[in-house]
């Protein structure tokens, strides 16, 4: 990391964000001598991003924090096609209304991480539907398509892996990389954008855009990728038993988001503190050196700092306080809650409803492994049930899965 002179590349290097750069020396010189504009594209397939996109969001945040201009490119046009990267099946095609609603939901996330302001360095959000839907097919083939060879396109991971698994790849999806390359050239012309960033799985597509800029407009563009993140045990980042870890509070509560980070594996604490918080690196070095039970203090700091960035100071403080009360054994407001609407319900059903297991079979396995408690009593049988008679008005039971995930069970006031 000492080889970089610009604050931007030094920051990315010391925090573990750098994987590949098309021309590191030239990009370093450009970032060190003036303000650059860099972009990352996000397709609008849902109304929220999940934690798997957080590396890319933090790349844009560090770009802005080091004096440059981040550009968030929403794929209003490319979402109509679908990125084949990392998938074995064709994406469901969405309507314009669905795509626009998804973009509105995603914008709320970026409002927390970036400054969108009419000032130098203020972030921009653009929508590639503005130009892609206006393209004429024959001119696109003549002007852009001739710079893409089928031979090279077949070597791209997004294509090659799908074909190796003998999964269908539609001609619609095959065009995705051409449009992504065209986006880069269009953003350069409209906004002076010279840098595209993304995950390492996007390297081939990014390089195609860099080369397209040189051939079509004779401009120097740059590409930069970050490493794909897996946990210390090899699991994919952001996947849990209860599903994706969403960044919008409507999809996942700040408390559950806090708990996700609190449950970080010991071997990931230092790396995740560097990538997903803004603590000074010297403080991170101190925290990652903690051992034994003390590492839990570092995990709580990670959880609170990551939640503060995503959901704000108040939500992070409330989540941390809620967790502290839960771990101390008391009932706590803010925990996920199940309201008992009938005389009796299987414990398995409650575990699934609280999002602590992805299915009934997963819940059954947790019970059989001795990992489920009601208050401090072990649930010994998968056939166990919770009885309304065990709960008087106003009383609650705390259901715990392991030592770190907790929920409350309340009795409906309508029960006799």
Give the total number of structural domains in the chain: 3
Res 329 pLDDT > 60? no
CATH code assigned at 52: 3.40.50.620
Banded model confidence at residue 148, pLDDT cuts 50, 70, 90: confident
Q: Residues 386, 315: one domain? A: no
Domain interval for residue 375: 337-411
Res 190 pLDDT > 60? yes
**CA-based Rg of the chain, rounded to a whole angstrom?**
24
Looking at beta carbons, which pairs linking 206-212 to residues 24 or more positions away fall under 8 Å?
206/22, 207/22, 208/148, 208/152, 208/177, 208/180, 208/181, 209/180, 209/181, 209/182, 209/183, 209/184, 209/185, 210/22, 210/184, 211/147, 211/181, 212/144, 212/147, 212/181, 212/182, 212/184, 212/185
Spatial contact of 41 and 129, defined as CB atoms under 8 Å apart: no
Q: Residues 98, 146: one domain? A: yes
Q: Which pLDDT value is given to residue 48?
A: 95
CATH code assigned at 393: 3.10.290.10
- Supply the mean pLDDT for the chain: 86
Q: By 3-state DSSP, what share of the chain in percent is helix, strand and coil, each rounded to 5? A: 50, 15, 35
Q: For residue 248, tell me if it sits in a domain.
A: no
Q: Which pLDDT value is given to residue 104?
A: 96
Q: Residues 13, 145: one domain? A: yes
- The mean per-residue pLDDT over the stretch 193-197 comes to 98
Res 105 pLDDT > 70? yes
- The mean per-residue pLDDT over the stretch 68-90 comes to 76
Nearest-5° angle of CA 348, CA 350, CA 351?
65
Of the candidates 242, 248, 157, which has an alpha carbon nearest to the alpha carbon of residue 203? 157
pLDDT: which is higher, 234 or 55: 55
Q: Which pLDDT value is given to residue 156?
A: 73
The last residue of one of the domains, among 327, 352, 378, is 327
pLDDT: which is higher, 138 or 340: 340
Q: Residues 322, 341: one domain? A: no
What length does the chain have?
416
Q: For residue 194, tell me if it sits in a domain.
A: yes
Q: Which pLDDT value is given to residue 335?
A: 72
- Window from 9-23, 143-157, 253-267, 270-284 with minimum mean pLDDT: 143-157
What is the spatial distance between Cα 182 and Cα 187, in angstroms, rounded to a whole number? Answer: 9
Q: How do residues 236-291 score in pLDDT, each as one tens digit?
A: 776 655 568 999 999 999 998 998 998 888 999 999 999 999 999 999 999 999 98
Q: Residues 186, 316: one domain? A: no
Banded model confidence at residue 330, pLDDT cuts 50, 70, 90: very low
Q: Residues 90, 157: one domain? A: yes
Q: Is the pTM of this model over 0.85?
A: no
What is the spatial distance between Cα 212 and Cα 221, in angstroms, rounded to a whole number? Answer: 9
Q: Residues 174, 207: one domain? A: yes
Q: For residue 19, tell me if it sits in a domain.
A: yes
Res 331 pLDDT > 50? no
For CA atoms 209, 214, 217, 220, give the dihedral sign: positive
Q: Residues 383, 313: one domain? A: no
Spatial contact of 241 and 360, defined as CB atoms under 8 Å apart: no
CATH code assigned at 321: 1.10.240.10
Q: Which pLDDT value is given to residue 373?
A: 86
């Amino acid at each position: 990391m000492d080889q970089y002179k610009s604050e931007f590349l030094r920051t990315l290097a010391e925090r573990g964000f750098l994987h590949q750069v098309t021309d590191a020396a030239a990009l370093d010189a450009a970032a060190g001598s003036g303000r650059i504009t860099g972009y990352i594209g996000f397709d609008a397939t849902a109304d929220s991003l999940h934690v798997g996109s957080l590396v890319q969001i933090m790349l844009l945040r560090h770009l802005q924090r080091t004096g440059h201009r981040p550009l968030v490119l929403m794929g209003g046009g490319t979402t109509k096609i679908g990125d084949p990267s990392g998938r074995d099946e064709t994406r469901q095609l969405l309507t314009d209304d669905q795509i626009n609603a998804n973009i509105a939901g995603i914008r709320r996330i970026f409002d927390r991480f970036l400054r969108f302001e009419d000032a130098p360095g203020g972030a921009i959000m653009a929508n590639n539907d503005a130009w892609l839907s206006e393209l004429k097919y024959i001119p696109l083939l003549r002007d852009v398509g001739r710079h893409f060879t089928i031979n090279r396109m077949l070597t791209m991971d997004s294509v090659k892996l799908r074909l190796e698994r003998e999964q269908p790849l539609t001609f619609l999806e095959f065009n995705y990389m051409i449009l992504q390359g065209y986006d880069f050239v269009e953003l350069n012309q409209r906004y002076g954008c010279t840098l595209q960033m993304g995950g390492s799985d996007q390297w081939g597509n990014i390089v195609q855009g860099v080369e397209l800029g040189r051939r079509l407009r004779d401009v120097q563009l740059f590409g930069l990728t970050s490493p794909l993140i897996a946990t210390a045990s090899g699991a994919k980042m952001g996947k849990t038993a209860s599903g994706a870890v969403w960044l919008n509070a409507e999809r996942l509560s700040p408390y559950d988001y806090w708990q996700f980070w609190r449950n970080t594996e010991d071997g990931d604490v230092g790396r995740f503190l560097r990538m997903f918080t803004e603590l000074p690196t010297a403080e991170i070095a101190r925290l990652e050196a903690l051992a034994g039970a003390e590492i839990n203090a570092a995990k709580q700091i990670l959880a609170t700092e990551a939640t503060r960035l995503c959901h704000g100071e108040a939500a992070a403080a409330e989540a941390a306080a809620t967790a502290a009360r839960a771990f101390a054994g008391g009932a706590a407001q803010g925990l996920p809650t199940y309201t008992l609407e009938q005389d009796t319900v299987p414990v398995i059903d409650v575990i699934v409803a609280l999002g602590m297991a992805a299915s009934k079979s997963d819940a059954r396995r947790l019970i059989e492994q001795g990992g489920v408690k009601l208050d401090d009593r072990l649930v010994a049988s998968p056939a166990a049930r919770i009885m309304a008679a065990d709960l008087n008005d106003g009383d609650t039971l705390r259901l715990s899965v392991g030592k770190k995930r907790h929920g409350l069970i309340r009795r409906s006031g309508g029960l006799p």
